[in-house]
C-alpha cells in the first residue's frame, strides 16, 4: 500500500457510494412512471461493486432487478391507458429504496470521515518534521 493508500481506498468507496445514491435516486424518481401496457415497466437499478487488486472497491456494473411486467393498474383517464383502461407502473418498493438510500448515504459519510482523519494524520506528520 502506498503512503496515501488510505485516501485512495476511501475515495474509491465514496465513488461506489455516489453511484449507489444515483441508482437509488433514479429508482425513486421513476416509482410513479406510468407506461402503456404494450411497454415494459421501469425496472429498479442496483449497483454491483467489486474489490480492486490494489485495495478499495470499484463499480463492476449496474443490474436491473424487478419485474418488467410491473403493476397493471386500471386508470381509464390516463392518456397512456390501453383499450381496457389499464396502464403499467413499476414494481419498485419505496421503503426498500429508502433503506438503500440511507445505507448508501451512511457509507458515503463513513468514507468521507476516513478521508478527513487521514488528511489530519498526514498534516500532523508534516508538522512533526517542521519542529526539528
Please state, rounded to an integer, the average pLDDT across all residues of the chain: 91
Q: What is the pTM of this model?
A: 0.84
Taking only the tens place, the pLDDT of each residue in 5-52 is 888 899 999 999 999 999 999 999 999 999 999 999 999 999 999 999
Which string of DSSP letters, residue by residue, matches 28-85?
Answer: HHTTT--EETTSPPP-EEEEEEEE-TTSSEEEEEEEEES-TT-EEEE-TTSTT--TTS
Amino acid at each position: 500500500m502506498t503512503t496515501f493508500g488510505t485516501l485512495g481506498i476511501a475515495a474509491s468507496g465514496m465513488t461506489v457510494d455516489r453511484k449507489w445514491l444515483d441508482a437509488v435516486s433514479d429508482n425513486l424518481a421513476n416509482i410513479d412512471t406510468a407506461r402503456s401496457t404494450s411497454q415494459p415497466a421501469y425496472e429498479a437499478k442496483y449497483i454491483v461493486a467489486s474489490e480492486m487488486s490494489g485495495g478499495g472497491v470499484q463499480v463492476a456494473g449496474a443490474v436491473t432487478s424487478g419485474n418488467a411486467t410491473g403493476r397493471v393498474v386500471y386508470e381509464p383517464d390516463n392518456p397512456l391507458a390501453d383499450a381496457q383502461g389499464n396502464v403499467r407502473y413499476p414494481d419498485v418498493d419505496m421503503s426498500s429504496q429508502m433503506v438503500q438510500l440511507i445505507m448508501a448515504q451512511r457509507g458515503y459519510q463513513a468514507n468521507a470521515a476516513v478521508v478527513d482523519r487521514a488528511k489530519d494524520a498526514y498534516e500532523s506528520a508534516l508538522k512533526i518534521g517542521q519542529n526539528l
